[in-house]
Amino acid sequence: MKIIDVLVNDKSGIALKKGYPLILKDAVMNPEVLKEEGDLLRLIDRNRRFIAKGYYGNQNKGIGWVLTRKEEEAIDFNFFESRISAAIERRSNFKLNTQTTAYRLFNGEGDGIGGLTIDYFDGYYMVSWYSEGIYSMKHHVYGVLDKIVNAKAIYEKKRFDTKGQYIDQDDYVSGTPGDFPIIVKENGMNFAVDLNDGAMTGIFLDQRDVRAALRDKYSEGNHVLNTFSYTGAFSVAALSGGAVKTTSVDLAKRSLAKTIEQFSVNGIDYEAQDIKVMDVFDYFRYAKRHELKFDVVVLDPPSFARSKKYTFSSAKDYTALLQDAIAITEKKGFIVASTNNASFSMKKFKTFIDEAFKTSGTKYKILEESSLPKDFRTNRDYPEFNYLKVCIIQKLK
């Protein structure tokens, strides 16, 4: 296969040589050579010295990813097989765990191929493609999976612009179609999952450790408010940990049926729980007006959200969101503050927390902080790819 010489500027050249995996748009000095996504690239410096090989695929601020730093290594079936089997090998401890049957098997650049993730759901595989470029190499990935895993079935999600074609897309790839929802286990809890139901599957696997912490340390005897609750996974964790009551709030109409489903597969009486289909910001007003207070408030908003009345951007509005939460948290209560916005760091996130508590005139203590779990492998040197930031905070007085 032909390979295109891409000239990178000095600054990016140094970063790429050190191990930075993303080929930034403004690193490329001869962008006119970039023609078709999926083309293989040979990155060279101004002296035409080899830096790395990668591929062309537009994804956020990058135009592609580095695949190998060995000039002689070909990007072929064997390349994909070596990276995917190494990733599976790294997660062999998950395979032995009967209490957790869903996890990330391959995490993009953290496992050596940016733009590709593979999640495992009790024998089913979900492959996510983040650019047209990596998608053009799908025959290799599916060839490798056919060879080295024994999948019940494979599904895929295209997480790049398919020009509006997503809606009717069938995510089925191969195998015996699943009878969805299937039930997966996470630390002994059950979760209903549908791999063929639009953009999301019913559970965000990256929050596994946070759900475990909520269940094991902050739920017993407590009333827990779960905002942006989606299918209510945090509420399930809280109730499994002995919460006396949960209130789950999400704007999406489908969240009601989905939350009832998650409660039901865990033997929880959903009628004893509050499930509110409403705007979180309206709920905060309602709670204040009725002087409702909670022992625990979970905040896990999307990075951006636009509802009829409000726009929310976690980079701009997280402080205000925290202030709303602080106002309805009991003294000595806990706030689980989470964000998946990669555009700011943990340090910045903590300044939002500090500002919110200062403005609210309350003291606080951060009891725990965490980021992505182990199966979401990232390179320690580049925290920008470890997008998840979670602080568990106690409101003191």
| CA dist list (Å): 375 to 93, 104, 310 | 10, 5, 35
Q: How far is the CB of 71 from ligand SAH (least distance, A)?
A: 43
CB 134 within 8 A of CB 23: no
Q: How far is the CB of 285 from ligand SAH (least distance, A)?
A: 12
Q: How far is the CB of 276 from ligand SAH (least distance, A)?
A: 9
CB 230 within 8 A of CB 258: yes
CB 353 within 8 A of CB 322: yes
Q: Which is nearer to ligand SAH, 84 or 203 (CB)?
A: 203
Q: Which stretch binds ligand SAH (CB under 6 A): 89-97, 227-235, 261-269, 343-351?
A: 227-235
**Max CA separation in the chain (angstroms):** 69
Rounded to 5 degrees, what are φ and ψ at 142?
-70, -35
Tell me: does residue 39 bind ligand SAH (CB under 6 A): no
Q: Which is nearer to ligand SAH, 37 or 279 (CB)?
A: 279
Tell me: does residue 325 bind ligand SAH (CB under 6 A): no
Q: Which is nearer to ligand SAH, 303 or 343 (CB)?
A: 303
Q: Give me the 247-276 binding string for ligand SAH, x by CB under 6 A, dash otherwise.
A: --xxxx--x---------------------
The three-point CA angle 279-284-286 to 5° equals 90
CB 345 within 8 A of CB 379: no
Residue identified by tokens 């489903």 is: 261
# chain residues binding ligand SAH, by CB under 6 A: 21
Residue selected from 87, 184, 233, 325 as contacting ligand SAH according to rule CB under 6 A: 233
Q: How far is the CB of 19 from ligand SAH (least distance, A)?
A: 32
- Total Cβ atoms within 10 A of residue 347: 9
Q: How far apart are CA 154 and CA 201, in angstroms?
A: 14
Tell me: does residue 191 bind ligand SAH (CB under 6 A): no
Site for ligand SAH in 294-313 (CB under 6 A): 300, 302, 305, 307, 310
Dihedral of CA 283/281/385/200: which sign? positive
Q: Residues in the site for ligand SAH, rule: CB under 6 A?
A: 204, 207, 228-231, 233-234, 249-252, 255, 279-281, 300, 302, 305, 307, 310
